[in-house]
Amino acid sequence: MAASAARTAERVDRVFHALSDRTRRTILERLSERPASLSEVAAPLGMSLAAVVQHVQVLEGSGLVRTEKIGRVRTCQIEPAGLTVASTWLDARRQTWERRFDRLGDLLDQDDED
């Protein structure tokens, strides 16, 4: 279970790293609307296709995007489960914070009873 925690940590690491780049987030915005080929993804981004390929590889390596090549066209789709990795981490933080907040509330209530 310690090993699986380490694996989870690396997954979280890759996802947040992937999300930290503005271009990659723009690609995800595009792909959440509909799947697209690499060229279609690249078109509005104002950079070389090679650069976009590298971004998509990062996204795929993090599990945020899935990719399939048919003929000479590689089509990219968003992978919602990848988003969940990030959301889950954020929710866990919020939950821990709220638990502490509740305990504080309990303490104050106790004080009121005195």
Partner DNA sequence: CAATCAGTTAAGTCTGCACTTAACTTTTAA
Partner DNA sequence: TTAAAAGTTAAGTGCAGACTTAACTGATTG
Which entry of DNA, a copy of itself, none binds 54, CB below 5 to 8 A by partner kind? DNA
Going through 1-114 in order, the beta strands assigned E by DSSP cover 36-37, 65-70, 73-78
Residues 19-58 that bind DNA (CB under 7 A): 20-21, 23, 37-39, 42, 47-51, 53-55, 58
Which one-letter DSSP state was computed for residue 43? G
Indicate the SS3 state at residue 103. helix
The binding site for a copy of itself (CB under 8 A) comprises 9, 12-13, 16-17, 19-20, 22, 25, 28-29, 32-34, 78, 80, 83, 86-87, 89-91, 93-94, 96-97, 100
* Among the residue ranges 71-79, 80-88, 89-97, 100-108, the one whose residues contact DNA (CB under 7 A): 71-79
For 112, other C-beta atoms within 10 Å of its C-beta total: 7
Amino acid present at 27: I
Residue 67 Cβ vs DNA, minimum distance, rounded to whole Å: 7
Q: Please tell me the distance from the alpha carbon of residue 90 to that of residue 105, in angstroms, as a whole number.
A: 23
